[in-house]
Amino acid sequence: MSLGIFLALLFNSTLVGICSFAFFRGGRPERCGAAINVVASVVSSVLRLYDVARLAPADVIIMSIDFGVALGFYWLGITTTRFWPIWAAGFALGDLFMSALGALLPGIPLFAYHTGLGIYAYLALGALALGTFRLPRDAEPYIRNGSRRLWVQHLKETT
């Protein structure tokens, strides 16, 4: 088995494990984060399998997907009470910079470029896993929902 296939299988198993954990144990923000990760990974993988040119740095479609991921995590970060989406958005932003700089530095080996992208993807998955793990199992519905509006409404009702 080649190293590339091994790394792809390792990432896919990590993605499935963490996103399943977030979907079944987490609240609404964790489910949204899992969906963002899964959709972006599946679409990117399908595009790269369909057309090998998508493996090159700064491919417009792949960068658009990465930009959508960064926006999705940013939206989660500003609309929920969770802190982990801010970290995931930062890692997605780092992924975008890695893609742009990969195009500006044509001498960089593709393995180093994709390894850098993988590191940011693992870090975003780690933020999701940590955020899911920190959510109490017996959390109140307004906490599980994660909405800032419900949290503010709950504060008004209790004071």
pLDDT digits (tens, 9 = 90+) for 59-114: 888 889 999 999 999 999 999 999 999 999 999 999 888 888 877 877 777 777 77
SS3 of 8, please? Answer: helix
C-beta atoms surrounding 143 within 10 Å: 17
The residue ranking higher by pLDDT, 15 or 51, is 15
What 8-state DSSP symbol labels residue 138?
T
Q: How far apart are CA 48 and CA 127, in angstroms?
A: 25
Q: How many contiguous H segments (helices) and E segments (strands) does the chain have?
A: 7, 0
Read off the pLDDT of each residue in 48-59 and give the average, rounded to a whole number: 77
Helix axes 110-134, 3-25, angle to 10 degrees: 20
Per-residue pLDDT at 41: 93
Report how far residue 32's alpha carbon sits from residue 29's, in angstroms, rounded to the nearest whole number: 5
Contact 121, 30 (CB under 8 A): no
Phi (first) and psi of residue 41, to 5 degrees: -65, -45
User: By the 8 A CB rule, do 116 and 98 touch?
Assistant: yes
CA 17 to chain CA centroid, Å, is 14
pLDDT over threshold 90, residue 155:
no
Average pLDDT on 46-53 reads: 83
Tell me what the pLDDT averaged over the chain comes to: 89
